[in-house]
């Protein structure tokens, strides 16, 4: 084994005392493969089980906390107690392979397809259409409805309720999905949040909703969990929109989150080594470096972003992150960690073999989207 791999293969203890067997995590990735009623399918369960024996922790695809938060076709649900057996099926499959199971909890906000939410009514912080990716981007008639204060409070409670279900289903933790343009980020963003109440205005006021969710999730954990339960928070550092979240805004948020007794923060990046776009003095400096400086060892940071080879991972760990998430690479090669541990890193596959869907145990809906999206995966 390459001696430089010792860091990534060494154990790591989270702030709450939960020990991870190594520093490599499976990143949350939408798989579009659940049943229409929000229950998980056998294909999803086997897909996760296939990828859970090497990594120390698996963060699932996002699960919606309210009916009007469903963001994807084939997304599994956590919005009602009837879903607990379904959620448990997935947690059990991940844990049986030796990984910690973390449920990512989410609300899609203005990015939800109208056909998936009650009465086709899309909601957000304000009635501002998305500029990219959402249905309201193409059809201004479908601009989101601004949530009332009482509706905002109901969603905050719903994040707590889904956390309780995760505890009852046997998960080891939850990850609050505050990234990728969904509702929590919509409240933090000056593009989507034009509110004039307690939830909008200055960058500090735009933190109110995300921080209220953190508080509610932690309250529920304290009340319902009988053993240490992981709570993480994922965020996107910047938005291309004007106005939009800047790197400077995110550093303010991260500075507050680092003191919230979370077990980790998880940055969402397409490229681990990407540089800041705006809002900071040095635009040649990597976002990861800015984040690590701001966090200053107060909370673990999970890095991510186009890590394929063992050499990619070693370079990422050299930047100083204690934990690293792999996403697409674990679909391409589910045995990545085992190959590193066995000194077989030259056998790691970094290009998707389009003839091996069955061997890779990838559900049809996810596989079809991968194959039809050139450039998303190396080799496609």
Q: Is 127 helix (H, G, I), strand (E, B) or coil?
A: coil
Sign of CA dihedral 277, 282, 286, 289: negative
* Whole-angstrom distance, CA of residue 301 vs CA of residue 122: 32
93 close to 45: Cβ distance less than 8 angstroms? yes
Q: Is 128 helix (H, G, I), strand (E, B) or coil?
A: coil
For 261, 264, 265, 365, the CA distances from 15, given in Å and listed in that order, are 8, 8, 12, 37
The per-residue DSSP string of 19-56 comes to: EESSSEEEPP-----S-TTSPPPHHHHHHHHHTTTTSS
Residue 326, strand partner residues:
26
* Whole-angstrom distance, CA of residue 250 vs CA of residue 279: 9
* Whole-angstrom distance, CA of residue 290 vs CA of residue 267: 12
| Tokens at 128, concatenated | 């501002």
Sign of CA dihedral 151, 156, 162, 165: negative
* Whole-angstrom distance, CA of residue 113 vs CA of residue 255: 33
Q: Catalogue the E-assigned strands of the chain.
A: 12-13, 19-20, 24-26, 57-64, 100-106, 123-124, 145-146, 173-178, 230-235, 264-267, 301-303, 323-326
Q: Is the peptide bond before 243 cis (omega within 30 degrees of 0)?
A: yes
182 has catalytic annotation: yes
Sign of CA dihedral 133, 333, 267, 97: positive
The per-residue DSSP string of 180-209 comes to: TTSHHHHHH-TTT----STTSSSHHHHTHH
Per DSSP bridges, beta strands 19-20 and 301-303 are: unpaired
Catalytic, out of 12, 182, 264, 308: 182
Catalytic sites, residue numbers: 182
């Amino acid at each position: 084994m390459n001696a430089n791999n010792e860091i990534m293969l060494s154990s790591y203890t989270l702030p709450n005392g939960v020990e991870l067997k190594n520093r490599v995590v499976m990143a949350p990735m939408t798989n579009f493969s659940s049943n229409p009623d929000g229950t998980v399918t056998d294909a999803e369960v086997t897909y996760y089980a296939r990828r859970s024996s090497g990594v120390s922790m698996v963060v699932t695809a996002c699960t919606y906390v309210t009916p009007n938060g469903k963001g994807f076709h084939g997304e599994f649900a956590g919005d009602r107690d009837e879903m607990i057996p379904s959620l448990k099926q997935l947690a059990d499959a991940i844990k049986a392979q030796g990984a910690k199971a973390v449920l990512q909890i989410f609300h899609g906000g203005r990015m939800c397809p109208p056909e998936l939410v009650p009465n086709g009514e899309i909601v957000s912080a304000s009635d501002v259409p998305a500029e990219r990716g959402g249905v309201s981007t193409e059809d201004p008639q479908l601009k989101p409805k601004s949530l009332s204060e009482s509706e905002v409070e109901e969603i905050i409670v719903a994040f707590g309720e889904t956390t309780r279900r995760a505890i009852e289903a046997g998960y080891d933790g939850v990850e609050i999905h505050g990234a990728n343009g969904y509702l929590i980020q919509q409240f933090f963003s000056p593009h989507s949040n034009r509110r004039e109440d307690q939830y909008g205005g200055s960058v500090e006021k735009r933190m109110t909703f995300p921080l209220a969710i953190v508080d509610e999730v932690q309250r529920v954990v304290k009340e319902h969990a009988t053993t240490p339960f992981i709570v993480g928070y994922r965020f996107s550092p910047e938005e291309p929109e004007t106005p939009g979240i800047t790197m400077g805004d995110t550093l303010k948020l991260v500075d507050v989150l680092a003191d919230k007794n979370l077990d980790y923060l998880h940055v969402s990046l397409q490229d681990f080594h990407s540089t800041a776009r705006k809002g900071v003095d040095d635009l040649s400096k990597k976002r990861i470096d800015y984040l690590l400086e701001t966090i200053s060892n107060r909370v673990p940071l999970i890095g991510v972003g186009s890590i394929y080879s063992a050499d990619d991972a070693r370079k990422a760990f050299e930047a100083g992150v204690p934990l690293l998430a792999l996403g697409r690479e674990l679909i391409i090669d589910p045995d990545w960690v085992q190959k590193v541990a066995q000194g077989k890193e030259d056998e790691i596959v970094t290009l998707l073999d389009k003839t091996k869907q069955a061997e890779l145990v990838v559900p049809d809906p996810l596989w079809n989207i991968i194959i039809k999206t050139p450039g998303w995966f190396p080799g496609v």
